Amino acid sequence: SSSETKALFERHKPTHVIHLAAMVGGLFKNLRSNLDFWRTNIHINDNVLHSAHESGVQKVVSCLSTCIFPDKTTYPIDETMVRIPIPTQNPGKVSA
C-alpha cells in the first residue's frame, strides 16, 4: 500500500533505491491473470517512485522482468536456451 511504502521510506531514509518489487507468479499465472498483474505492478511502481521522490531519493534503478519469455520456444526452458533464437518482437529490449 502507499502508506506502508511511505512509512518504509520515512523509517530508512534511503538516498538510493534499487527497485525490484513486483507481483510475480510465473508465465502461466501471468497469462491467466494478466490484468491483475498489470494493475498490481502499476500500483507498486507508483508507490515506490512517488515515495522515493517525496523523500528526496537521489537515484532510483528499476528492473522489470515482464518480457523475459521468448515468443516461440519449447518448455521447460533451461539455461542452455538463453537467446536461442534471438528474440525479434522488441529490438530495443534485445539490445539492452
Q: Tell me which residue of 7, 90, 10, 25 sits closest to 57, measured CA to CA.
A: 10
2-22 per-position pLDDT tens digit: 899 999 999 999 999 999 888
Cβ-contact 73, 81 below 8 angstroms = yes
The domain segmentation of the chain, as residue ranges, is 2-70
- Name the 3-class secondary structure at 62: strand
For 55, counting Cβ atoms within 10 Å of its Cβ (0-12 exposed, 13-18 middle, 19+ buried), the class is: middle
φ, ψ for residue 45 (rounded to 5)? -60, -45
Whether residue 68 is predicted with pLDDT greater than 80 in this model: the reply is: no
Considering the chain, what percentage of its residues have pLDDT values greater than 90?
41
